[in-house]
Chains A and B, each alone.
Chain A
Amino acid sequence: MHVFELGFVAAVLLAATPILYASLAGAISAQAGVFNIALEGQMLWGAFAGVAGSYLTGSAWGGLALAIVTTAISSVVLAVGAARWNADPIIIAIGANLVAVGLTGFLLRVLFGVSGTFAPTGLQGLPKMAFLADVPVIGPIFAGQTVLVPLAFVVIVAVGLWLRSTPAGLRLRGVGEHPEAATTLGIGVSSYRMWTVIVAGALCGVAGAQLSLGNVTVFTENMTAGRGWIAVAAVMLVSSRPLWLPLACLGFGAAEALGFRLQGIGAPQQLTDAAPYAITLVVLVLTRIRFTRRRDAVLSS
């Protein structure tokens, strides 16, 4: 029973990690004042580039590097468009997500000659932390995970603290909250935004690589399956505050892991697939009810 519970914790962490990285990307973009809904497509591209890189270089780290670099490069369009040219980030992101779906499917056929699923023999996945296997409690949870799983929490805390208590973090928040005021202080609003969106792209690359080389070792068309949208919802849920993201993302991870468990005992897959979205929406509404109540209370007092 004990092992079963720790196994469930491990499954929750595994499901939550890609969403953690992607939602961190969304949160820093939102803090800088860019509504970034390109997470889904960028994560999908990261997943593809991770597998392609691992296949071509023979090393999963090569895959991770390719995912980070190419996803960051692909986010330049959104970065420059939204930050420098005042284009609508929503429309760019809708287009970019479509391009990601199309281009990954296209390249899968052109480069590797397969469609649907790409799992060549010998494809290197990111190494698991097997050396932890004998440690009690930590072992069963982390031994089967990649180093990116615990790293997600470290990165989120670091970014959260950076935003909260460094001058650069303060400037970034200022850029999002009141761009005119930031400009009068001599802060380059558009370059802050641009670099934030590019860093967000790199984080989505990590999210995608973890999905395709960590959670599994395969690329399937459209394998992100809406995780990017859940990440966007997570950003809303925590009002873009990174330090709260683990709570929200572990909730989603639990919903997904629970869905797998329920499927195992015979629940129809369609309904467990829908659960994370429905739960996300319900939680979003519940937090907003509390929020509006509090606001009403303040207004009426």
Chain B
Amino acid sequence: MTIAPTPLPPTVEPAGSQDRGLRRALGVALRHPVVVPVGAVIVALLIGAVIMLSAGLNPLEAYSAVLTGALDPDSLDYTISVWGFICGMAVAAAIPLRMGEFNMGGNGQMVLGGVTAAVIAGQLGLPGILAVPLAVVGAVVVAGAFGSLSAPLATRFGIPIIISTLLLSPVAVAVVSYLVRYPLAEQGSAVAQTPRLPADARMPGLGDFSYSTWGLILIIAVMVIFWLVDSRAAVGFELRTVGANRRFASYGGVRVGRLAFGAMATGAAAAGLVGAIIVLSPPYRLIDGALTSPGYTFAGLAAALLAGGRPALIPVTSILFTVLQVGGAAMERTADVPRQLSDVLQGVVIVVLALRTIIDQRRTERSSA
């Protein structure tokens, strides 16, 4: 028999194919859309751990403090309300992001919404049934109008939306801060704040929660509407088309300028809604700096970027940044790690996400080869 001298190839063959199969399976797994965001978070956590270790702090202790602090049953109510605000600000960033624009003016839009709600609910003396809805509508309209300013600035004067929102936002924040300190200030108070809203002009509470109000339901409704419009409506399709290829979309008949106007108006309106809800919820007043200092805007922006602007993922990615945000304070208390680490982690997640193009690039190189 002459088959004898062939025992070597078969032993190599299966090993090779098995290896190839494994690699293919790994490739398929790596291509799963979840890999990049999860990977970004893991890398950020690792970098955070390295920073803490080199500062002589205990990362395990810090991270467990973050988790237990944010998910502590006693404060879960507070965590949920923060999650709502971050979701709202994520929508504010995500709608323009769908068409490739960056809304960096969330702070200004949010405080304008807040001050509008404070004036309508607190100063006009409207009956309770009208006060809260009108305050919300007013906030949404004022913030939306303010945000939509950026669209003509971009289409008519060529000032990118990212720049105009960045320049408009501090102006709005400063004006609102002035209003809260002087014309709208509570008389005789040491803190710059508006008077407490009348009892019937407050957002109704939600069951047994002490922080969360019906505002949370409003924000969830906004996310559902965003998801429906994005996936089912023509406007949502147009938004995504412009985001994918602006020139193609405008050849296809999409009016990019009008779409930008709508996207900025609705995004800013969502930010204004968040501002209104914060003011209409406990402690039922507008305190100078209370809307901007927790950093909901950038947490929301980070959540929107991590979700890639996809409406269905925003509630999920917002959980992460809520945990970081709320848990950061707990980490500072119990593990003695400065809460600014939360900002660092947020930033690293965004940077790593942006750098994911290395994977994409390899992928396209391989497919074109």
Contact = CB atoms under 8 A, between A and B. Distances in A.
A joins B in a complex: yes
A67 interface: no
Contacts of A91: 305, 350-351, 353-354
A280 B344 contact: no
A98 B174 contact: no
Contacts, number: 155
Contact of B347 (A95, A109, A233, A292): A95
Nearest to A286: B157
Given A106-B338, A270-B175, A277-B167, A95 B357 contact: no
A100 B302 CA distance: 15
B126 interface: no
B162 A292 contact: no
A277 B170 contact: yes
A236 B341 CA distance: 33
Given A95-B351, A110-B338, A277-B171, A85 B358 contact: yes
B355 A92 contact: yes
Interface in B324-369: 338, 340-358, 361
Interface string A107-139: 101110001000000000000000000000000
Contacts of A232: 163, 166
A103 B338 CA distance: 10
A78 to B, nearest CB: 9
Interface string B137-172: 000000000000000010011111011101110110
A105 interface: yes
Contacts of B246: none
Nearest to B164: A281
Contact of A85 (B157, B302, B347, B361): B361
B351 A77 contact: yes
* Residue with the greatest number of chain A CB neighbours at <10 A, chosen from B181, B302, B347: B347
* Residue with the greatest number of chain A CB neighbours at <10 A, chosen from B102, B347, B354, B357: B354
A273 B170 contact: yes
B350 A86 contact: no
Contacts of A257: none
B229 interface: no
A110 B55 CA distance: 7
Contacts of A247: none
Q: What interface size band does chain A fall in?
A: 35 or more
A281 B343 contact: no
A95 B51 contact: no
B248 interface: no
* Residue with the greatest number of chain A CB neighbours at <10 A, chosen from B340, B341, B361: B340
Contacts of A285: 153, 157, 159
B45 interface: no
Contacts of B305: 91, 94
Given A86-B357, A94-B350, A288 B159 contact: yes
Given A270-B181, A271-B174, A233 B354 contact: no
Nearest to B54: A110
Given A99-B344, A103-B344, A105-B343, A110 B57 contact: yes
21 contacts: A86-B357, A95-B349, A99-B347, A101-B343, A102-B340, A102-B342, A102-B343, A103-B344, A106-B341, A109-B340, A226-B166, A232-B163, A232-B166, A271-B174, A271-B175, A273-B174, A274-B173, A277-B167, A281-B164, A281-B171, A291-B158
Instruction: For the complex of A and B, list the 10 residue pairs with the smallest distance between their C-beta atoms, beginning with the closest.
Output: A102-B343, A95-B350, A98-B347, A99-B347, A274-B174, A105-B340, A95-B351, A102-B344, A288-B157, A91-B354
Interface of B: 51, 55-57, 102, 104, 153, 156-160, 162-164, 166-168, 170-171, 173-175, 177-178, 181-182, 298, 301-302, 305, 338, 340-358, 361
Interface of A: 37, 77, 81, 85-88, 90-92, 94-107, 109-111, 115, 226, 229, 232-233, 236, 268, 270-271, 273-274, 277-278, 280-281, 284-285, 288-289, 291-292
